[in-house]
Structure 1
Amino acid sequence: MDKTNKYSGRMGMQYKTFSIYAKEVNYDNESRTISGYAAIFGNKDKAGDILIKGCFSKSIQDRGPESPANDKIIMLWMHNMNEPIGRIAVLNEDEKGLYFEAKIDEVPRGEQAIKQLESGTLNQFSIGYQYVWENCEYDAEKDAFIVKEVKLYEISVVSIGCNGETEYLGLKSIEDVEKAYEELNTEISEVCSGMPASKQQKIQRIISKAMSLASFRPEIRKEPTPEGEGADMHGNKVKSMFENLKLK
């Protein structure tokens, strides 16, 4: 089976959440260190993935706490890159899963995370990652995606597990939409800053095309979907707009 069809919605950044319990997370008040597991190996999760021990090893080697990288894997509040809450001091794989220890900074979100983890109001960690497709495969017998490697970017304290395919933007009026477009243009400019002009223009064209495609919804199809192709909840064939996208 073609995994890019079976998992066409899994392009780009993804999020995976693991619920924790009091006995599975520890907090050292003196060192302000939270420790626990951010992912578990060997079980089929709600996304239909089975993480295999070793899937984080390259990320840990390249960007873990002991690596020389400047862009190390970071501890965030709710997957928000603008709200880092601490430094990951220990990150390794054991037989159970991805174990971490993070030293939490004395910042408002850090204090909130500590208090609400201690109280039990928050009880989930989540990882932000991308699949490394050549090291992942679909197992038809288990009806699961066997994940042998991912690119790990961050670990977050979260309230409710994020869905990497959806995002509520809070757009209620044309003014909200126009403001969102202005913010998007600013974000694109910041990301493209320093790139060659040709590369910037190419990225902007791709984003414009993606936005145009996202706003177009054809009529619901009635015919059955051929086996092996992705489908939405109505049985419509679906295909990620990014599936055949590749920057040179």
Structure 2
Amino acid sequence: MKTKNADASMRTKDFAFKVKAAGETGAIEGYASVFGVRDSYNEAVMPGAFADSLAKHTREGTYPLMLWQHNPDEPIGVWNEMSDDGKGLFAKGQLLQGVRRADEALIMLKAGAVQGMSIGYREVDVEPSNAGEPRKLLKLDLLEASIVSFPANRRARVDSVKSDGRLSEFAQRLRDGEPPSIKEFEDVLREAGIPKAMAVQIASVGYAKAVRSESESSGEAIKSALSDALASLRSITTKT
């Protein structure tokens, strides 16, 4: 049931994102919305806001559209997974290679020139702002999620433009006996979303020790150490 403050027209809400690792596949994933965060419009999307809309999409075998700047004439890809997981609206999608705007979007994502995602929705149920609290969006009909230029909420982000490019290059240099510098490894960790202090500690202690002892290690030992490091990295990023 709609509250009297619900707006039935389509509205949009912007979110910032950070690209962790850019490759050539065009696969993207991350949180299109994070629950309970007051944005610059003094609104907060509440847990469960997308549940009914996602259930409807599931019944109909559809997903919200992936557009460029909310332009219905410029679809740039497809979303193939969306879930309301308690933290927010988690989405996975694929930019369509060969589509001009999609190719441009991928280039800009990799360069960090594009800084936002925005959802297009209709309000179904809202709670008005009261006593300093934000206006709470309780139930939304999700229509589309666009790649856009200007973010409003810096808590939600696309976590990655996925490929094995950076990590593959990193591993290859280790195999070739040309380990990247500690700073380069720190940058890889930062791109993966690891906080700066933790990235510095991991790179300057564990990785530095491995590099120093490389000449005394077998190739298999190095590969094993790298595998363990990547497993730990994935474990950390899954929890953040």
TM-score range, shorter chain: 0.5 to 0.7
The Cα offsets for residues 85-111 of structure 1, whole Å up to 9 and x where unpaired, read as 111011012232111111111200110
Aligned counterparts of 1:90 and 1:27: Cα–Cα separation in 2: 20
Q: Residue 37 of structure 2 aligns with which residue?
A: 43
Aligned counterparts of 2:16 and 2:93: Cα–Cα separation in 1: 17
Q: Residue 143 of structure 2 aligns with which residue?
A: 153
Deviation at 1:27, TM superposition (A): 5.0
SS in 2 for 1:60: helix
Counterpart residue type for residue 129 of structure 1: Y
TM-score by length of 1: 0.55
Q: Residue 33 of structure 1 aligns with which residue?
A: 27
SS in 1 for 2:106: helix
Distance 1:27-1:96 versus aligned 2 partners, 3 A rule: farther
Aligned counterparts of 2:53 and 2:82: Cα–Cα separation in 1: 10
Q: Residue 99 of structure 1 aligns with which residue?
A: 90
Aligned counterparts of 1:11 and 1:95: Cα–Cα separation in 2: 25
Distance 1:117-1:70 versus aligned 2 partners, 3 A rule: same
Greater fraction helix: 2
The Cα offsets for residues 26-74 of structure 1, whole Å up to 9 and x where unpaired, read as 55634x31111111111111111111111011111111xxx25265311
Deviation >4 Å, runs of 4+: none
Deviates more, 1:102-111 or 1:68-77: 68-77
Aligned counterparts of 1:18 and 1:91: Cα–Cα separation in 2: 16
Aligned counterparts of 1:105 and 1:68: Cα–Cα separation in 2: 25
Q: Residue 169 of structure 1 aligns with which residue?
A: none
Aligned counterparts of 1:18 and 1:131: Cα–Cα separation in 2: 18
Partners of 1:35 and 1:99 within 8 A in 2? yes
Correspondence 1:110-189 to 2 at 5 A:
110-133=102-125, 136-161=126-151
Aligned counterparts of 1:28 and 1:102: Cα–Cα separation in 2: 14
Bigger RCO of structures 1 and 2 (CA < 8 A, at least 6 apart): 2
Aligned counterparts of 2:116 and 2:53: Cα–Cα separation in 1: 22
SS in 1 for 2:66: strand
SS in 1 for 2:60: coil
Q: What RMSD in Å do the two structures reach over aligned CA positions?
A: 2.2
SS in 2 for 1:61: helix
Counterpart residue type for residue 78 of structure 2: R
Counterpart residue type for residue 18 of structure 2: Y
Aligned counterparts of 1:71 and 1:60: Cα–Cα separation in 2: 9
Partners of 2:63 and 2:80 within 8 A in 1? no
Unmatched tracts of structure 1, length 5 or more:
163-248
- How many corresponding residue pairs? 149
Distance 1:28-1:98 versus aligned 2 partners, 3 A rule: farther
